[in-house]
Amino acid sequence: MKLTNTDLLNNRYKYSMDIILENVQHLDKKILLATQTLTAEFCIKYILDMDIESGSEDSYIFDVCYILTKQKHITEKELMECENGLIWKYINP
């Protein structure tokens, strides 16, 4: 199934993580955050942008606070634990 940003807007909180993962490369992060229930791991892997030095608009938007504002079911602790786990995987493959 190929999702579009319009599909996300018209069907809030409908799509499973499997379907979202299949389509993540062509979906808008802002729309994903605002319209779907995402996991902490997904947010860390695909949405969080810690490179605020890059100067891109997204780097200022997709920080921890913004993610937590849009995904109220995720706690800051859960997000941080997930982030630390993913970083550890990259350091020790």
pLDDT tens per residue, range 30-84:
999 999 999 999 998 899 876 654 555 555 578 888 899 999 999 988 888 887 7
Which pLDDT belongs to residue 29? 93
Q: Is the pLDDT of residue 86 over 70?
A: no
Q: Is the pTM of this model over 0.75?
A: yes
**pLDDT for the residue numbered 93:** 47
First CA to last CA across the chain, in angstroms? 32
What residues contact residue 20 under an 8 Å CB cut-off, 6+ apart? 3, 27, 32, 36, 38, 42
Q: Residue with structure tokens 């504002």?
A: 69
- How far apart, in whole angstroms, are the C-alpha atoms of residue 17 and residue 33? 13
Question: Domain residue spans in the chain?
Answer: 5-91
- 40 Cβ partners below 8 Å, 6+ apart? 74, 78, 79, 81, 82
